[in-house]
Amino acid sequence: MKTSNQKIKSYLVIVNSPKGSIENDNEEFISLTLSAGTVISGITYVNIKKFNRNTLIGKGKLQSIKEDLEAVDIDLIIFNKDLIASQERNLEKILKYPVIDRSRLILDIFARRAQTNSGKLQVELAQLKHLSTRLIRGWTHLERQKGGIGLRGPGEKQLETDRRLLQERIRSIELKLKKLHTQRKTNRKSRNKVMKNVALVGYTNAGKSTLFNSLSNSKTFVADKMFTTLDPIFRPISISKNRRVVISDTVGFIRELPSELIEAFLSTLEEISDADLLIHVLDSSDRFMHQNKQSVESILKQIGADQIPTIYAYNKIDLVKKGLDLLNTYQHIEVSAKEDIGTETLIESIALMINPQPIKTILRINVNESKIRAQIYSIANVIQECLINENTLELTVEIDERNLLRLKKNKKIKAIESKLSTSSKRI
């Protein structure tokens, strides 16, 4: 493995598909290769009318790349399109260098960025799943040829063992992630009782972490790289005098996120689908802002988060000279996380969108009503519980107005909005 000052030298093959590709794809692909920490030693653009099944691009172009490669010093070839396993193998055979595709590139970036235990496990799971499709394909490919070249015995067995080990590792990671997931769900539940969850979402590099820092006065790592943040981070922030919400910063999105990654990151993404409010951060200085917005929205739909109330924060407004022609509502706000413009308005909007407010209340129930007591615990944050006489239990709680109304409908619950009874006996 190379150290950071001895970067991997890459050669990029940018294939423009028959339908014509948007320029953004190419710029974005180049950013991805830089974010992965490689230096670009050469680029070639290929326009093709029809994909070649075996090598993606045609023989003539492959020959010219081969000649090109003789003059440059490289370690790796990266294709901007996804390759199937056999294409990858054929290309490696012809070009005599390791070949990776866009999905593998993104997986590698994620692997470099993952820091927490769960982040690392999720990335490993995605990588193994990616690999397993390749091994299985490799297997069938060899099986087809075995009669001709006598590939019976150890080679075949090795693949089978590899495949079995791979499946075992996948299962063991899935189990570990399941446990972590349950843990996170419990944490989320206890958080949810009183404080609402606000999740920052958006295309990678839109400025989510910078906005998170400016809203929460924290120091989350920010960089002009893609996928800087992988693991979700939470912080309570004040949105009004007595009102706090939990804000979270998570992984950025990109169009055509490899499916293995979405699958592996589903539990992380659940933080988003469980949120009460989304702040969709947009990079208003990016001329592909609208396309990126659509890509994010399509992923939100995939994870079942498209119905959550959303505020659109048009970030990096300091870089936009003309200003934006926005709908004048509190759901569309121009901000600059870097220059601290519009963040106050954003907080006011969050407060407006997050309703109702939690109320501190005293509830009294009969001491034998264990079901009602459990119900109160499930929807309210119980601060104190006292027995005020032989039959009456008094609970001091923080609760949403809506849930309080629900409880008040129950005649067996008496709600008293007064201070704590000092004579009460603690149990």
Ligand X SMILES: Nc1nc2c(ncn2[C@@H]2O[C@H](COP(=O)(O)OP(=O)(O)OP(=O)(O)O)[C@@H](O)[C@H]2O)c(=O)[nH]1
- List of residues contacting ligand X (CB under 6 A): 202, 204-210, 222-224, 226-229, 252, 315-316, 318-319, 336-338
CB-count exposure of residue 382 (10 Å: 0-12, 13-18, 19+): middle
- Measured from the CB atom, the residue of 88 and 231 that comes closer to ligand X is 231
- Measured from the CB atom, the residue of 56 and 269 that comes closer to ligand X is 269
- Measured from the CB atom, the residue of 197 and 229 that comes closer to ligand X is 229
Q: How much is the CA Rg of the chain, to the nearest whole Å? A: 27
Q: How far apart are CA 247 and CA 198, in angstroms?
A: 5
Strand partners, 399: 359
The distance of closest approach from Cβ of residue 214 to ligand X in the complex, given in angstroms and rounded to an integer, is 8
Q: How far apart are CA 398 and CA 380, in angstroms?
A: 6
Could you tell me where the DSSP H helices lie in 356-399? 370-379
214 binds Mg ion (CB under 5 A): no
Q: Which does 210 bind (CB under 5 to 8 A by kind): Mg ion, ligand X, none?
A: ligand X
Q: Which does 207 bind (CB under 5 to 8 A by kind): ligand X, Mg ion, none?
A: ligand X
Q: Which of residues 217-276 bind Mg ion (CB under 5 A)?
A: 228-229
The distance of closest approach from Cβ of residue 253 to Mg ion in the complex, given in angstroms and rounded to an integer, is 11
Q: How far apart are CA 246 and CA 345, in angstroms?
A: 18
User: Residue written as tokens 């040829």?
Assistant: 145
By Cβ distance, which residue is nearest to ligand X?
A: 252
Q: How far apart are CA 110 and CA 226, in angstroms?
A: 10
- Measured from the CB atom, the residue of 11 and 265 that comes closer to ligand X is 265
The three-state secondary structure class of 366 is: strand
By Cβ distance, which residue is nearest to Mg ion?
A: 229
In sequence order, the 6+-apart residues with CB closer than 8 A to the CB of 233 are 212, 220, 248, 249, 250
Binding mask 159-198 for Mg ion (x = CB under 5 A): ----------------------------------------
- Measured from the CB atom, the residue of 81 and 208 that comes closer to Mg ion is 208
The distance of closest approach from Cβ of residue 210 to Mg ion in the complex, given in angstroms and rounded to an integer, is 8
- Measured from the CB atom, the residue of 274 and 334 that comes closer to ligand X is 334
- Measured from the CB atom, the residue of 276 and 318 that comes closer to ligand X is 318
Q: How far apart are CA 31 and CA 48, in angstroms?
A: 23
In sequence order, the 6+-apart residues with CB closer than 8 A to the CB of 250 are 199, 200, 201, 208, 229, 231, 232, 233, 268, 269, 271, 272
Most distant CA pair in the chain: distance in Å?
Answer: 92
Q: Which does 197 bind (CB under 5 to 8 A by kind): ligand X, Mg ion, none?
A: none
- Measured from the CB atom, the residue of 210 and 248 that comes closer to ligand X is 210
Tokens of 382: 């119980």
The distance of closest approach from Cβ of residue 396 to Mg ion in the complex, given in angstroms and rounded to an integer, is 39
Helix axes 117-149, 154-192, angle to 10 degrees: 160
Yes or no: say if 283 and 315 are a contact pair by the CB < 8 Å rule. yes
Q: Which residue stretch of 89-97, 204-212, 285-293, 328-336 sits at the interface with Mg ion (rule: CB under 5 A)?
A: 204-212
The distance of closest approach from Cβ of residue 205 to ligand X in the complex, given in angstroms and rounded to an integer, is 5
Q: Which residue stretch of 18-26, 46-54, 84-92, 209-217 sits at the interface with Mg ion (rule: CB under 5 A)?
A: 209-217
Binding site for Mg ion (CB under 5 A): 208-209, 228-229
